[in-house]
Amino acid sequence: MNVLVTGGAGFIGSHITEGLLSAGHDVTVLDVMDPFYDLKIKEQNLERCRDAGGDRFSFIEGSITDEDVIERVIADNDIEYVYNQAAQAGVRASVENPKKVHKINTTGVLNLLETANAYDVERVIHASSSSVYGVDKYLPYDESHPNTPQSPYGVSKLTAEHYCRVWSEIHDVPTVCLRYFTVYGPRMRPNMAITNFTSRCLNGESPVIYGDGEQTRDFTYVDDVVAANLKLLETDAADGTVMNVGSAGTITIDELAAHVVEATGADVEIAYDAAREADARHTHADVSRAHELIGYKPTTSIRDGVSQFVAWYRENRDWYEPLVRRS
């Protein structure tokens, strides 16, 4: 099968690409190579994909905001499935530059949908976010929970979901939107909490929590996210829907920091700083819809996942840590 992964040089996109290549598919990655974080991480991601796919893997530098590029990539490669992982990430970054976020996360998705319709793409799988929910009315979030996003990032993701739904309804373009809950794992962005905690602990520094530490997160290990995405090659049961992809568990940021301290063996105390703007207080996914429709079942607990990440960090410290420390 010929598959396009947009944003495939990024953290989640590269892991999905590796999974697709390991399953025997031909994969084209489109990525703009925006230096939102150090591009050496994206270069490592692409190298892993080349090693996994050989001549079944190709990379094109370009943006989903460029309609001509999207049309050329989809037409020239006979693309059957599109995994849209391209996005301007970051809740706080979206507060600082909302127009950039809208252009990439909303207009870019519309470009993909129009081209997918024109070239009869079989399915578009779009990466959405738990940020669409905003302030919790109840927990865990199910897909019927009110959507009151608290940041331009969340607004852009919710708007893109509506475009996917409408294109599925009026143009018969099969779409699925996966609402990710704080994905983490090897090669993750260097500015994420788990990365920062690990880096600081391994360097004898206190992990810094922004806020009181009582906020909770549903952290999802990247292997579980890949499994959910690959399931969508096997069934059309989820077409036209949105689905949560989370761990179905939560941990306080205090507990997370303490676990990283334990996993690294660091002799440090946890430090605290002011809470950051637009961050959600709590996240917790109800994954029953994904389980019912595609058989999704997360397999990695936060404690096991953090331990695996710390072990990976140690093994890759020579190239990864300097990039983290510069972030």
What pLDDT was estimated at residue 278?
A: 63
| Residue 326 pLDDT greater than 80, yes or no | no
- The CATH number that domain 193-215+249-284+299-326 falls under is 3.90.25.10
Residue ranges of the chain that CATH labels 3.40.50.720:
2-181+222-245
Residue 325 — pLDDT band, cuts 50, 70, 90?
confident
> What fold does the segment set 2-181+222-245 form as a domain?
Rossmann fold (3.40.50)
| Residue 109 pLDDT greater than 70, yes or no | yes
What pLDDT was estimated at residue 280?
A: 76
Name the residue with higher pLDDT: 93 or 305: 305
**Which residues have a Cβ under 8 Å from the Cβ of 99 and sit 6 or more positions away?**
none
What mean pLDDT comes out for the span 297-314? 95
Over residues 144-160, the pLDDT tens digits come to 999 999 999 999 999 99
Residue 62 — pLDDT band, cuts 50, 70, 90?
very high
Residue ranges of the chain that CATH labels 3.90.25.10:
193-215+249-284+299-326
Instruction: Specify whether the CB–CB gap between 224 and 301 falls below 8 A.
Output: no
Q: Mean of the per-residue pLDDT values for the chain?
A: 95
Percentage of residues of the chain with pLDDT beyond 90: 88
What pLDDT was estimated at residue 304?
A: 94
Over residues 48-58, the pLDDT tens digits come to 999 999 999 99
| Residue 113 pLDDT greater than 70, yes or no | yes
| Residue 294 pLDDT greater than 70, yes or no | yes
What mean pLDDT comes out for the span 184-212? 94
Strand intervals (E) in the chain: 2-6, 26-31, 57-61, 81-84, 123-129, 175-180, 183-184, 208-210, 216-217, 220-221, 241-245, 251-252, 271-273
What pLDDT was estimated at residue 256?
A: 96
Catalytic sites, residue numbers: 153
Percentage of residues of the chain with pLDDT beyond 70: 99
What mean pLDDT comes out for the span 264-279? 88
CA-based torsion, 317, 17, 286, 92: positive or negative: positive
